[in-house]
């Protein structure tokens, strides 16, 4: 019986390893305070042995989804489109947070209200594509989001 149990466990190990290979989207949530735009925040986790670049995002919830960041210029924070994408080094994580890198949804196709969910498709180029659900949470505090993202998967 012991040999059979160990054999079954050994057979499942490759499946478990594959489940953690690739890019993962953790703790995705959206904020929308007007009927035209929304922002999405999350954590990108690269479980691959190579760097992966998030090149684009799509969703049926908006006409356009763009990668943005905030940069300071002359003492003023300005939102800027990240045309080159976001590179996540092999084995690392990258947080998309308020006041930093994030996803902007422009031209919403429907109003997004508290508790709604939307599906996002992430294009990582040679590293493949991933889908994730984001829930609209306009009440979420940034400190809680950062703590939750830091503990995702633990």
Residue 35 belongs to a domain with what CATH number?
A: 2.60.40.1890
- In tens, the pLDDT along 73-126 reads 888 888 899 999 999 999 999 999 999 999 999 999 999 999 999 999 999 999
Q: What is the mean pLDDT of residues 68-76?
A: 86
Local confidence band at 42 (pLDDT 50, 70, 90 cut-offs): very high
Q: 98 versus 71: which is more confidently predicted?
A: 98
Averaged pLDDT of the chain: 85
Tell whether 12 is covered by a domain: no
Local confidence band at 11 (pLDDT 50, 70, 90 cut-offs): low
Q: Determine if the pTM surpasses 0.75.
A: yes
Residues 6+ apart with CB under 8 A from 56: 65, 67, 85, 122, 123
In contact, 131 and 120? CB cutoff 8 Å: yes
Q: In the chain, how many domains are there?
A: 1
Q: Which residues form the domain of 41?
A: 21-150
Tell whether 15 is covered by a domain: no
Distance of CA 73 to the CA centre of its chain: 27
Tokens of 72: 């300071």
Looking at residue 105, its pLDDT comes to 98
Tell whether 11 is covered by a domain: no
Looking at residue 116, its pLDDT comes to 97
């Amino acid at each position: 019986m012991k040999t059979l149990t160990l054999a079954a466990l050994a057979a499942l190990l490759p499946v478990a390893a594959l489940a953690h290979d690739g890019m993962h989207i953790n703790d995705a949530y959206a904020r929308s305070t007007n009927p035209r735009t929304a922002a999405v925040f999350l954590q990108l986790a690269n479980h691959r042995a190579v760097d992966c670049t998030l090149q684009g995002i799509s969703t049926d919830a908006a006409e356009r989804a763009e990668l943005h960041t905030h940069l300071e210029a002359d003492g003023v924070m300005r939102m800027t489109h990240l045309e080159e994408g976001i590179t996540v080094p092999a084995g690392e994580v990258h947080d998309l947070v308020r006041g930093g890198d994030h996803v902007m949804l422009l031209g919403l196709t429907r109003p997004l209200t508290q508790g709604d969910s939307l599906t996002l498709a992430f294009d990582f180029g040679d590293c493949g594509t991933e889908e994730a659900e984001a829930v609209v949470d306009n009440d979420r505090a940034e400190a809680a989001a950062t703590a939750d993202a830091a503990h995702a998967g633990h």
